[in-house]
Amino acid sequence: MTAITAIGAYAPRFRITSEAFTEAWGQFQAAGISEKAVPAADEDALTMAYEAATRALEAADCTGEDISWLGFATSNPPLAEEDLTARLGALLALPADSTRHVFAGSTRAGTRALWAGMDAVDAGSKRGLIVAADAPQGEPDDAVDQAAGAGAAAFVLETDGEATIVDRAEYAAAYPGTRFREADSETTDGLGITQYDRQAFAETIGGAVDGLEVDPDPDAAAIQAPDGKLPYRVAGPAGVGTDEIQTAATVHELGDLGAASVPVSIARSLADGHESVLAISHGSGAGADAFVLESSSTVPAVVDLEGGDTLSYAEYLRQRGVVTSGQPAGGGAYVSVPTWKRSLPQRYRLEAGRCPDCGALSFPPGGACDDCGSLEEPTPVELSGTGTIEAVTTISQGGAPPEFAEQQAQSGDYAAAIVALESENGDTVSAPAMGTDAEPSAFAVGDRVETTIRRIYTQEGVTRYGFKIRPTA
């Protein structure tokens, strides 16, 4: 029977409170939410998926090479058409022949991916990795945007393990117009017919729970949360009490996580040691999935959902790119996609080269050895992802190269540093890096940093991803 054997979860460090919206608009329309997580200017569903997935792999004490089936779910992919599992797989160093699927088009996508992953493991896949990441966005003055948060969860699936999925069911009924995003639109919308929306939510959730063969008696109930009140309104159809919903809820402090709403709540519940979890997703259209999970012991987990900096409303609009202009005229340094592609091992996995003659490290690898001048092909070495700042400066408005100017306008000043990155042997090699996740003042010579994957810039419509640095926790 398919089991969840490891968990990873992530939410961006930025937060905005309900009071900030009330000050700006005179009201706050996202009931039951005290604050929500806000993605940084260089974050999107793909980078958050990476954050959650690396944490799940760490908890499982395995690497991407051990994954044979990958499912990636989001209702807001960075690109409307592209197989994003190719990029995510490269970021995680999955085997090139691993099976991969993208799930999108609905806030139900996260549990759809979990469902498919279960079937794949049951059918003989060695180890599955399911990742759900989302950051919904609406018009600035509507309830969708005021509720919209950001976060991601990832699960390692195997045939045996701590948290077993003992039953599942689904239900669908046609309720068009409850929540939708039109083609070529970045914002999610809805008709706002309150009774109609609640009826769709209650009928599909009740139908999915009624389809379960196991009679659930959960410690926690992870229910889809478009806002902080709607999950509690379906306590009856779901067959649970408000205490069980409160136990699993993440919406009150993270906001509406879209396709990641239920996965993140599952992750928190299992990481907290709950032995029985009822998970129910809902997607507009409308449909619902219901799962019963039973855990024999605490599932290994690396969960990072705590907030950091609180934004003003103006800073929130800037991070979301609502009040900033695009790239300045004249463009920047042109790097073709084929050239960028050749550097992916260095940008994604910090692949350096070790000179076969003198043993010196080079980053990026290639060319003559800086130490001995040898022209022998260097041996690939993957750096650890931690290091020490050797030099640092601050890039302010007007100082960023044109290709970085739009992101700088959104995020504000950023740190640019030279970092001594470490190999597993403990020796180092210097590399340039951009700072993220902190004000430039948080980076100083001698400070310890770690690498993560973020958006670098977009050129010719193609977003370039690569490593950046942040202060170690």
Going by the DSSP 8-state scheme, the letter that residue 423 receives in this structure is P
Q: Is residue 164 part of a domain?
A: yes
Q: Is residue 331 part of a domain?
A: no
75 and 111 inside one domain: yes
Is 70 exceeded by the pLDDT of residue 7?
yes
Strand partners, 43: none
Average pLDDT of the chain, as a whole number: 92
List the domain range (segments joined by +) for residue 355. 337-471
Is 80 exceeded by the pLDDT of residue 324?
no
The stretch 236-261 carries a mean pLDDT of 95
313 and 343 inside one domain: no
CB 232 within 8 A of CB 245: yes
Ramachandran angles phi, psi of 452, nearest 5°: -145, 175
At 411 the pLDDT is 84
The HSE-up count of residue 354 (CA atoms within 13 Å, CB side) is 13
Q: Name the pLDDT band for 437 (thresholds 50, 70, 90).
A: confident
Q: How many independent structural domains does the chain possess?
A: 2
More confident: 290 or 473: 290
Q: In 3-state terms, what secondary structure has residue 213?
A: coil
At 329 the pLDDT is 58
305 and 414 inside one domain: no
Q: Is residue 327 part of a domain?
A: no
At 269 the pLDDT is 96
Q: Name the pLDDT band for 399 (thresholds 50, 70, 90).
A: confident
Is 70 exceeded by the pLDDT of residue 326?
no
224 closest CA partner among 241, 243, 238, 210: 238
At 61 the pLDDT is 96
CB 299 within 8 A of CB 5: yes
| pLDDT tens digits, one per residue of 201-229 | 999 999 999 999 988 889 999 999 999 99
290 and 347 inside one domain: no
Which tokens belong to 388? 């020490």
| pLDDT tens digits, one per residue of 82-122 | 999 999 999 999 999 999 999 999 999 999 999 999 999 98
Q: Is residue 194 part of a domain?
A: yes
CB 126 within 8 A of CB 68: yes
- The last residue of one of the domains, among 274, 289, 319, is 319
Q: Is the peptide bond before 56 cis (omega within 30 degrees of 0)?
A: no
- The last residue of one of the domains, among 319, 349, 365, is 319
Q: Is residue 122 part of a domain?
A: yes
Q: In 3-state terms, what secondary structure has residue 51?
A: helix
Strand pairing category for 351-354 and 361-362: antiparallel
393 and 283 inside one domain: no
Is 70 exceeded by the pLDDT of residue 328?
no
* Alpha-carbon distance values, 5 to 253, 266, 434 (Å): 26, 13, 35
311 and 457 inside one domain: no
Is 70 exceeded by the pLDDT of residue 409?
yes
269 and 381 inside one domain: no
Q: Is residue 330 part of a domain?
A: no
Q: Is residue 328 part of a domain?
A: no
152 and 233 inside one domain: yes
133 and 239 inside one domain: yes
- The last residue of one of the domains, among 319, 347, 381, is 319
134 closest CA partner among 43, 202, 21: 43
429 and 289 inside one domain: no
Q: Lowest mean pLDDT: which of 194-198, 277-281, 302-306?
A: 194-198
Is 80 exceeded by the pLDDT of residue 49?
yes
357 and 452 inside one domain: yes
Q: Lowest mean pLDDT: which of 16-25, 119-128, 328-337?
A: 328-337
Q: Is residue 154 part of a domain?
A: yes
228 and 289 inside one domain: yes
More confident: 142 or 398: 142
Query: For position 128, which CATH number holds?
Result: 3.40.47.10
